[in-house]
Amino acid sequence: MASKGETEAAVRTAIIKFEQEFLGRGPDEVRVFIVRDMLVVRLRGVLTPAERQLAKTSEGIDMVKRLRQTLIAQGRERLCEQVTELIGAKVTALFTDIDTLVGERVFVFTLESDLEATFRPS
């Protein structure tokens, strides 16, 4: 069985690959945290140069957010399946938001069971 750190690293790799395939580039930094029955993923440096330009206006911010939401909606099922396979716990929901001012995005995967408990010594 993989350790907590190894599992977090595997999810990190899968998220980077997903971002590269769906958005054409990966984030500058990805951190993954297993917290009870959740996976929290923080991505830094996610905006493309074009998105950074758009994000200078409120209309542009809305466009960037809508675009990212649409792309996630198209890949959501595949991403949840990949994460489920990697961690051995079923993903029940995926929540995401992006902050265009700082160029960060957060994913929160909720899980069917307490994944963190599987890494604690008995």
Residue 61 lies in a domain: yes
Residue 102 lies in a domain: yes
Q: What CATH number corresponds to the domain at position 17?
A: 3.30.980
List Cβ neighbours of 45 (8 Å cut-off, separation of 6 or more). Answer: 27, 28, 29, 103, 104
Give the integer Cα–Cα distance in Å for 67 and 62: 9
Banded pLDDT at 23 (limits 50, 70, 90): confident
Q: Which domain holds residue 22?
A: 4-115
Q: Tally the domains of the chain.
A: 1
What pLDDT was estimated at residue 111? Answer: 98
What pLDDT was estimated at residue 120? Answer: 77
Q: At what angle do helices 58-87 and 4-23 cross, to 10 degrees?
A: 130
pTM: 0.91
> What tens digit of pLDDT does each residue of 24-69 get?
889 999 999 999 999 999 999 999 999 999 999 999 999 999 999 9
Residue 48 lies in a domain: yes
**Element of type H or E holding 78:** helix 58-87
Contact 98, 64 (CB under 8 A): yes
Residue 54 lies in a domain: yes
What average pLDDT does the chain have?
A: 94
> What tens digit of pLDDT does each residue of 60-70 get?
999 999 999 99
Residue 120 lies in a domain: no
Residue 31 lies in a domain: yes
What pLDDT was estimated at residue 24? Answer: 84
Residue 121 lies in a domain: no
Residue 90 lies in a domain: yes
pLDDT at position 14 over 70: yes
